[in-house]
Structure 1
């Protein structure tokens, strides 16, 4: 297969789905698919489908590393794609844009998820401070079950001062829901591509997707 002459549609297909042999010594795969598999494995989900086999007793579904991986997937999808009918929302980060366009979450809930991603990814903590955008300042309590609601925004806003943390200003998130949301968004994006309704929005276009997210691995 000549990967130098792929069409935009083929590149998207490979990005969303690809893990296949390239020649006798190498395989080519998509980092998005690798992230999905890692997230699913870490959270005890079906590796091929992403389904949570036992929502009541799957203790892995709240795994922090798996949750980080799912949030990274949101970043990559939001950076690369949107539905052709949707606005660009260039004032939002990729993860915020992805959630805004593909879920019914409120802006407050979206900012809370973005803040959790920052807290996890930057220093594996449960607090995030942002002096320029107070809506991204949160400290979290994480639940290992399907809490209702998925996210509970506190009635009292945390001011970012550690000595002022309390139960009244903590943001509560049920971690298993994150995997469900991301799996649903992945299916939405894949369906949009199948229906020819998906638009590439990453600045370098399809070539950047190919060069950044389609990877080669040696078998030996």
Structure 2
């Protein structure tokens, strides 16, 4: 009986020693894991801090128009090339680009625009491109028409103003302002001194 008691005590002591060793090993692993640095990523995240202005081809249908401007069907598009701030110090910047990259772009000013196919105004069999440029402030658009000659855009109708009484205008409104009678091109010039902006038929230069 005495011998059995001694064997039991020895077995109990052995189990306690094994348990202590296991706890110490576990604590050591936990400590090593806590101190170990996080694994480094294999790739570096891309820097997207530089924003690129979106192309304006669908935001406003009136900023895109198709015509035979150069001898083949061509689409002109109002394109935002610089996104400005809300203040005057850094306005947006637009350009008129074309679906054929070989065609030189046209400057588009600070704001949105209305593009118009004016038809063949100069009798060369090609369409002219009309551009009504929205104002940065105020309610007056400016209008110009361009013709494509010898691989370059040239102004065909000198700039004139389109007052809108701050109510906006449409492509249909702009389309009515320039027309051809016989071999002469006219535009409807608004009288800025008239409270209703009466339009006067004026020969284009």
Q: Same fold (TM over 0.5)?
A: no
Higher helix share: 1
Larger radius of gyration: 2
Normalising to structure 2: TM-score of the pair?
Answer: 0.29
Whose strand proportion is higher, 1 or 2? 2
TM-score (normalised: structure 1): 0.27
